Each structure stands twice: as structure tokens, then as C-alpha cells.
Amino acid sequence: MDYSKSGGGKPSKNAPRFNPNGASPKGKAAQGGKSSKDELLARMKAAAQAKKDGSAPGA
């Protein structure tokens, strides 16, 4: 019996499950736009302070 003919088809190999050129999240660039270390650190500190104060960041 030829088991390769039974069941569903095999997915293509090495194909990404996402579209890297697709729509980006709100407020973010589709590609590139890497934040500087200072911006990242400031954002992390703001999030930590908001968590410490008991409010959610961005709310």
C-alpha cells in the first residue's frame, strides 16, 4: 500500500508562516526602525514604574 497517497498534503518546506511585509502593529514600523538603547531603557523604566504603582502601562 502506498501510504504517501493517503491523508492530507504535506506543507511546503521552508515557507514562513507569516508575511514579513504585511501589516504592522499600530504605532510600529513594518520593517526596520530599531529603537536606540536609551529609548528602550526609558520605556522599560516607565513600564516598571507603572507596574510598581499598580496601573497597567499604556492604559
- Is 27 inside a domain boundary? yes
pLDDT of residue 56: 62
- Is 59 inside a domain boundary? no
Number of structural domains (the chain) is 1
- Is 58 inside a domain boundary? no
Q: Which mean pLDDT values do the consecutive 10-residue runs of the chain (59 residues) have? A: 70 73 68 78 93 72
- Is 11 inside a domain boundary? yes
Report the alpha-carbon distance of residue 50 to residue 59 in Å, rounded: 10
Spatial contact of 7 and 1, defined as CB atoms under 8 Å apart? no
Residue range(s) defining the domain that contains residue 15: 3-53
Whole-prediction pTM: 0.37
Q: 21-28 long-range CB contacts below 8 Å, 24 or more apart?
A: none
